[in-house]
Amino acid sequence: MAVNNTIVIRTSDHNAHAQMLDATHPNVAEFCRRHKLELREFRGLKRGLWDWHACFNRLYMFEELIAEGHSGWVIYLDADAYIVDLNFAIADYLDSNSGYAGILVHSGATPEHWDINNGVMLFNLGHPITSLIIRDWIRRHEDILEEAEYLSEERPFYFGDQRILQHVLRDNPAWFGALRIETQDLMNSMHATFIRHHIRAITPDFDRRIALIRHEVDAIMKGPAADGPARPAISDKPS
């Protein structure tokens, strides 16, 4: 059992995005080693036909953890997400947010409160609301398995697991109210101080994006704070 009872999960297809996962793996693995977190990664398809269906793997990875009886935190990171502050006091941060079902970040794309970006998600499986969110997310995914958009070899624009989760939160305001919406200054953005996320919208060219990510990950791993002590977590008090 990992110290802190926290598991980090990541996933990709077996092809292009597996390269992205490989590029960020050393960074995330070092963070997990340093903080004694369990890391689970899956390449391929849990269910589906085309490579882009790997975006739904995270749903089934969460479901597997629920079935295992895991009751701690689960940190999900997209293949193009990585840790900037390797010494961030993650145990303290999660403990200070133990009353929440999860921690998500707004996408910034629209003013809708439920418009989150699910490339970085922290879910507390010890909270009763969390399993309701995940099971509804899976149910809605299974409802679209015969839709033309899902069966398309090319991923339709704005179609996938994130849109479904947004609709879950939109339709269940009480569930949304059980979540903490964290600032992009801390995570899930290009300027985040803890978990950075280099999304396709920032750099559409895949090869250039992976090269930039590799460059920054390398700099982080060699940086002056790489071997420093754990830093205090940012306060949970609202600014």
- Direct distance between the N- and C-terminal alpha carbons of the chain, in angstroms, rounded to an integer: 35
The most distant pair of C-alpha atoms in the chain lies apart, rounded to whole Å, by 51
Give tens-digit pLDDT for 29-84: 999 999 999 999 999 999 999 999 999 999 999 999 999 999 999 999 999 999 99
Mean pLDDT, residues 155-163 taken together: 85
Quick check: 35 and 4 in contact, CB under 8 A? yes
Amino acid 188: pLDDT: 97
pTM tops 0.95, yes or no: no
The helix/strand count (H/E) of the chain reads as 8, 9
Mean pLDDT of 135-147: 94
Structure confidence by residue, pLDDT tens digits, 70-106? 999 999 999 999 999 999 999 999 999 999 999 999 9
* pLDDT grade for 158, boundaries at 50, 70 and 90: confident
In order of 4, 29, 44, 195, 237, the CA distances from 101 in angstroms are: 17, 25, 28, 19, 17
Q: According to the model, what pLDDT value does residue 113 have?
A: 96
CA of residue 139 relative to chain centroid, distance: 20
* CA angle centred on 234, ends 199 and 181, rounded to 5°: 50
**Nearest CA-CA partner of 10 in 53, 54, 49:** 54
- The answer, yes or no, to whether residue 167 has pLDDT greater than 70, is yes
More confident residue, 221 or 158: 221
- What the chain holds in terms of domains, given with CATH numbers, is 3-222 (3.90.550.10)
- Can you tell me the mean pLDDT for 15-40? 97
How large is the C-alpha radius of gyration of the chain?
17
Average pLDDT rounded to a whole number, residues 182-192:
97
Q: Does residue 233 carry a pLDDT above 60?
A: no
Tell me how far CA of residue 130 lies from CA of 65, 66, 173, 235, in angstroms. 12, 10, 13, 23
Confidence check: pLDDT of 234 > 70 = no
Half-sphere exposure of 164 (CA within 13 A, CB side): 21
pLDDT of 168 above 60: yes
